[in-house]
């Protein structure tokens, strides 16, 4: 069902790798709600994924950009405003990567060059993106910028490794830059702290299946899917959330406020009784 929530709006979506990705589903949903979109991803991710299929499906143009390179982002902003014929109404930053996780390095034994690379891709790229948009005055008044986060920014999930630090930094950038974007340009900036989601990026984390099952049992509404997240993101792009900014919004079926659930308790009681 479409509500025309984004009719006439124009946006940039980062990170649509394949149809499992939240960015992909958000792009499809934004298109259904009436938006015009420019898609972007790093050249290497574009070779790995199937972004061209998505572009054809939603009538979008693709502008490749390495989100860690300021000149790439400045070019993206210039090209996107040219393609879309005006200022940008919404941006989704859906990028995250840890080389330490990929290469199996433990949190207590990091390769700091890899740490710096992951930090740049996952968090500093958000600052660089907003700086390019801000300095070029490319956002419309009451525009909306959203980045995807995870609750490991606040609580310990041992196997999430240095991505937890990256997400904490990402959320801080959203607040700090969001203040200036709000004061100067009436643009809102938020992060969505999403349930663990079986995307290509998410599945790179050790023990991920256990993670998902546990979170599902802890959440009164169950885990939020990638599609659920896309739907929620659309509400933040819409005019219905004009005064929501500087927030880290938990989209996790209630997981973040549950100490323990009946199902998890029962699983432990069963194990104890088996001893």
Residue 95 labeled ligand binder = yes
- Of the candidates 134, 243, 240, the residue with the CA atom closest to the CA atom of residue 181: 134
Residue 51 labeled ligand binder = no
Q: For residues 44-65, b (16+ Cβ closer than 10 Å) or e, as one string?
A: ebbeebebeebbeebebebbbb
d(CA 14, CA 26): 10
Residue 167 labeled ligand binder = yes
Residue 271 labeled ligand binder = no
Q: Can you give the C-alpha Rg of the chain in angstroms?
A: 19
**188 Cβ neighbours under 8 A, 6+ residues apart:** 142, 143, 144, 145, 178, 181, 182, 236, 241, 242, 243, 244, 245
Residue 15 labeled ligand binder = yes
**Which amino acids are annotated catalytic?**
150, 160
Q: Please give the annotated binding residues, written as ranges.
A: 15, 21-22, 95, 167
Q: Please give the annotated binding residues for NAD(+), written as ranges.
A: 15, 21-22, 95, 167
């Amino acid at each position: 069902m479409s509500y025309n929530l984004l009719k006439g709006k124009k946006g940039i979506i980062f990170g649509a790798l394949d149809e499992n990705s939240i960015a992909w589903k958000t792009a499809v949903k934004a298109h259904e709600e009436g938006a015009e979109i420019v898609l972007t991803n790093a050249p290497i991710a574009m070779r790995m994924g199937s972004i061209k299929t998505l572009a054809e499906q939603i009538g979008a143009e693709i502008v490749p950009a390495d989100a860690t390179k300021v000149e790439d982002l400045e070019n993206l902003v210039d090209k996107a405003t040219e393609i879309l014929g005006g200022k940008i109404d919404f941006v989704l930053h859906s990028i995250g990567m840890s080389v330490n996780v990929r290469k199996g390095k433990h949190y207590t034994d990091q390769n700091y060059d890899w740490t710096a690379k992951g930090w740049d891709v996952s968090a500093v790229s958000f600052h660089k993106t907003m700086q390019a948009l801000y300095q070029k005055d490319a956002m419309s008044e009451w525009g909306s910028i959203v980045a995807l986060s995870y609750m490991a920014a606040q609580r310990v999930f041992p196997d999430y490794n240095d991505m937890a630090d990256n997400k904490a930094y990402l959320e801080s950038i959203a607040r700090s830059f969001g203040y200036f974007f709000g004061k100067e340009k009436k643009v809102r900036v938020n992060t969505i702290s999403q349930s663990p989601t079986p995307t290509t990026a998410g599945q790179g984390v050790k023990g991920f299946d256990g993670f998902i099952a546990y979170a599902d049992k802890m959440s009164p509404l169950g885990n939020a899917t990638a599609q659920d997240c896309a739907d929620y993101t659309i509400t933040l792009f819409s005019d219905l959330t004009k005064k929501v900014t500087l927030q880290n919004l938990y989209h996790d079926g209630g997981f973040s406020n549950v100490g323990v659930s009946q199902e998890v308790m029962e699983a432990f009681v069963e194990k104890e009784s088996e001893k």
